[in-house]
Copies of this chain bind each other. A is one copy, B any other.
Amino acid sequence: MLRIATIGTSMITSDFIEVVNESADAVFVGTLSRNAERAASFTSERGGTLPFSDLGELAASDAVDAVYIGSPNALHAEQALACIAGGKHVMVEKPLGANEREAKAVLDAARDAGVVALEAMRPVHDPAFWAVRDALGELGRIRRADLRFGKYSSRYDEILAGRQTNIFDCRMASGALMDIGVYCVEALIALFGKPDAITCTPVLLDEDTRELTAGALDGAGTIVARYPHMSATLSYAKITNDNLPCQIEGEEATLSFAGVSVPMQARIDYRGRALRGAAKEVRPAEGAHSRELELPGCANTMAYELADFVAAVEAVRAGADLLDAAAGPFGTVGYFRDVTLTSIALMDEARRQAGIVFPADAR
């Protein structure tokens, strides 16, 4: 049984506590909030018994085995390091740190302390994602991938109204790439590994919002990743709605699926044999056909990352070497560490090209 406390009182934290409460292997202890009353009410409303209002107290608590950190991005590393120093396993919302240096500090500290540090990156713990990956072999040589996630954020309304919001704030290490592009990046790394090179073209928020956002920050962006025989385009946006599915094009077939964070509605279109065509019509093919993939579904896919986190902790408790410990069916702690570090390093380079600098980068 894993006794889990949480940091943060956001909706995502509520969603995580929901899957903890549904799990037979974990129990929700309580939530940390600087506001003691808020901590108490948030905790009791969700079945917890022990609210916290001080990080040191949480980190030192004997009643807690692990901490889920759902605070603003810029706080992830510092809070994770404090919890790790207190011997706690940590599950950290994406992105695990504001930059590679922070992420590495957290992951190295966890390794040295012998505790599990796992990034809460839903797709890479979701069997639907790996079912999509397993189908890639049917596409022939893969030549291009489009991974996309664009959803207009109600927080952009705040910016337009001239009000600060953590979701668009360099001090919080947020913005479109960090908050939503990260799903595309980590899916890319999990599917295709580290690219040879990237280009990042951001759509920056207007210059007259720079004071609100504490510097240049992206509302949307496009990263093109180059591989030896293919390329991938990552499109992310928080100021528009992107209604297209993800798509992976092979020479023999093209696969599409909706929702890079929660893969669903996957299908493969086999091209058949190409025939010579003419300008006025869609070029015909012989033997083209389609197939829907059966994907496992789940009302709240945070259940998967929780299960993998619990499994990793249990493996470590049972004596497994930390990095070799299986974090569920899809990878070891070391594998997910690599996905996280490679992804955040890619995002560092993307931000460098985009001219997006966080205060955390200077520390």
Contact B254 A249 (CB under 8 A): no
Mask, A121-148, CB within 8 Å of B = 1, is 0100000000000000000000110100
Of the 9-residue stretches A72-80, A109-117, A199-207, which lies at the interface with chain B? A199-207
Task: Give A contacts to B, CB under 8 Å.
Answer: 11-12, 14-15, 122, 143-144, 146, 150-154, 156-157, 199, 201-203, 206, 219-222, 224, 226, 229-231, 233, 235, 237, 239-245, 247, 249-251, 253-254, 256, 262, 269, 271, 274-280, 282-283, 285, 299-302
Whole-angstrom CA separation of A243 from B302 in the bound complex: 31
Whole-angstrom CA separation of A219 from B231 in the bound complex: 11
Whole-angstrom CA separation of A143 from B219 in the bound complex: 9
Given contacts A220-B143, A249-B237, contact A274 B154 (CB under 8 A): yes
Which of B220, B229, B262, B282 is A144 in contact with, Cβ under 8 Å? B220
CB distance from A71 to the nearest CB of B (A): 15
Whole-angstrom CA separation of A271 from B239 in the bound complex: 11
Given contacts A235-B144, A279-B11, A283-B151, contact A229 B249 (CB under 8 A): no
CB distance from A278 to the nearest CB of B (A): 4
Whole-angstrom CA separation of A15 from B277 in the bound complex: 11
Minimal Cβ-Cβ distance residue in B for A154: B274
CB distance from A93 to the nearest CB of B (A): 10
> A154 contacts which chain B residues (CB < 8 A)?
274-277, 283
Contact A146 B244 (CB under 8 A): yes
CB distance from A145 to the nearest CB of B (A): 10
CB distance from A183 to the nearest CB of B (A): 11
Contact A15 B233 (CB under 8 A): no
Top 8 A-B pairs, shortest CB-CB distance: A240-B249, A154-B274, A11-B278, A280-B300, A199-B199, A201-B224, A15-B279, A201-B231
Which of B14, B150, B202, B301 is A249 in contact with, Cβ under 8 Å? B150
Contact B230 A233 (CB under 8 A): no
> A253 contacts which chain B residues (CB < 8 A)?
241
Contact A299 B280 (CB under 8 A): yes
Minimal Cβ-Cβ distance residue in B for A247: B244
Contact B237 A235 (CB under 8 A): no
Contact A146 B235 (CB under 8 A): yes
Minimal Cβ-Cβ distance residue in B for A269: B243
> Most chain-B CB neighbours within 10 Å: which of A143, A243, A253, A285?
A243
CB distance from A126 to the nearest CB of B (A): 12
Whole-angstrom CA separation of A303 from B241 in the bound complex: 35
